[in-house]
Amino acid sequence: MVRIFLLLIFCFTFRAQEDLLALVGDKPVAPKHVFATFKTFRLGNAQTTETVKKNHLDFRIAHRFGNLYDNTLNNPLNAAAQNMFGFDVVEDIRFSLDYGITDDITLGIGRSRMNKLIDGCIKWRFLKQTTDFKIPVTLTFFGDIGYSHAPTTKIYEGVIKDFSTNELHRLNYASQLIIASKINNSFSLLLLPTYIHRNYVRLEINTHNQSEIPNSFFSLGMGARIKITKRVSIIGDYFQNLHAFYFKNKDYNMPLALGVEAETGGHVFSLFFTNASGLIENNFISITKSNWANGQVKFGFNISRTFSLGR
């Protein structure tokens, strides 16, 4: 009988503090996929797995100033002061527009000063990291076709031209598999196996190992972001070209970028130093000539503004 009374009391108390949500079968929802692995579409030089959201248009201006310092010059300090530590020099400017067809597919066009390159690109995020790490990475494909509208004399500059001019010589291609993992809230990692192809290259030889400049080669990029506050992060990325021509080549170096990224509401500012001049994969992976060791470091920034269309 005592037991039945207890049951009754239980029944009353149950009624007083009942979990109605559980009773109707409602369960709290936790996010399935990781979000905001990176704040924006580029880290420093490298692409991230992020894409433009559906029906949004991202307008971006990327800029590289000249070398801060260059100890290969006769009077480097004077030269640096003369051009205000590179601020008077423009290495490259790129304007671009990227549009989100869906939340995972982005189409973009851009125009760079370097090599007078007009490029069209596609970015497709086809796998998303889950919060339970059952899928530990996010995968995005990035493909870019560049067309140089430089004068023909510039394209074939210094070449003994025993062949006919070919419009296809102006094209180059970059394809990338972007692998990213948000290890925790403040640390994200990036790995970028890349394939570069250029339809035409002017002959150059690496005097260290006599290897010729390749039309196509593989490159491996890597990058990381460490958040120091909710809105400010330290960013860095590096590419290593996997072809003999680029090993110990006195004329070519590998692009390295280090800097900070700050988010202010609708804007993301990336401010960093890099030895790369180019602003698109087709340019900076294959043609980075400056060297950190010589002080040939450039200040760079990317500013983007995203507009919401439709909806």
Partner 1 sequence: MIKKAIKTVSIFLFLLLYIDNKSQIYSAKANATEVSFLSEAPLENIEAVNKGGIVVLNANGNQVQARITIMNFKFKNALMEEHFNENYMESDKYPNAFFKGRIIENVDYSRQGEQNVNVEGELEIHGVKKQVILPAKINIKGKEIEVYSKFKVKVADYNIKVPSLYVKNIAEEVDVTIKSTLEPFTKK
Binding site for partner 1 (CB under 8 A): 1, 4-5, 7-8, 11-12, 15-16, 18-21, 23-26, 28-31, 34-36, 53-54, 56, 131, 185, 230-231, 263-266, 306, 308, 311
Smallest separation (angstroms) from partner 1 to the CB of 6: 10
Q: Which residue number, 13 or 166, has a Cβ lying nearer to partner 1? A: 13
DSSP for residue 213 = P
Q: Which residue number, 20 or 168, has a Cβ lying nearer to partner 1? A: 20
Residues 194 and 219: beta-carbon distance below 8 Å? yes
Q: Which residues contact 12 (CB under 8 A, 6 or more apart)?
A: none
Smallest separation (angstroms) from partner 1 to the CB of 232: 11
Find, among 13, 7, 45, 21, the residue nearest to 302 by Cα.
45
Smallest separation (angstroms) from partner 1 to the CB of 37: 10
Q: Which residue number, 59 or 87, has a Cβ lying nearer to partner 1? A: 59
Residues 34 and 45: beta-carbon distance below 8 Å? no
Residues 225 and 261: beta-carbon distance below 8 Å? yes
Smallest separation (angstroms) from partner 1 to the CB of 29: 4
Q: Which residue number, 129 or 291, has a Cβ lying nearer to partner 1? A: 129
Residues 246 and 186: their CA atoms lie apart, in Å, by 34
Smallest separation (angstroms) from partner 1 to the CB of 224: 18
Q: Which residue number, 41 or 238, has a Cβ lying nearer to partner 1? A: 41
Smallest separation (angstroms) from partner 1 to the CB of 7: 6
Helices (H), the chain: 2-16, 20-23, 76-82, 152-155, 281-284
The residue ranges of DSSP E strands in the chain, in sequence order, are 56-67, 90-100, 105-112, 117-127, 138-148, 171-184, 187-198, 216-227, 232-241, 256-264, 267-274, 298-308
Q: Which residue number, 125 or 298, has a Cβ lying nearer to partner 1? A: 125
